[in-house]
Amino acid sequence: VSLLILGSCCSGLAYGSWTKAFSLAKKSSSVSNYMLTNPFVSAIYGYLLIGDPIEKSAIIGGAVIMTGLVLFNFGPALAKKTG
């Protein structure tokens, strides 16, 4: 049951949102990296919806992914300010 909920609801919602974002984006590169958040967001939804435990490795992986997204989106602006 958990796999069905995570697969159809959580991942489906993430893929649908990602597809919609592609149709609205001016540049596909501004959206493409967000697909990497799908497993992390699905784990959070699983926890919130059905109480599925989140492993420490998922939290660490999610933090690495989010850090990468911040650097991708704001890295050039931060480099200009410090350089």
Length of the chain: 83
Place of tokens 């050039």: 76
Which are the contacts of 65, defined by CB distance < 8 A and separation ≥ 6?
36, 37, 40
pLDDT for position 26: 85
Report whether pLDDT(74) > 80: yes
DSSP state of 36: G
pLDDT for position 83: 62
Note the pLDDT tens digit of each residue in 45-65. Answer: 788 888 889 999 999 999 999
The rounded distance, in Å, linking the Cα atoms of 33 and 37 is 8
**In terms of pLDDT, which residue wins out, 61 or 83?**
61
pLDDT for position 67: 93
The rounded distance, in Å, linking the Cα atoms of 66 and 45 is 16
Lowest-confidence region among 3-7, 16-20, 34-38, 74-78: 3-7
pLDDT for position 61: 93
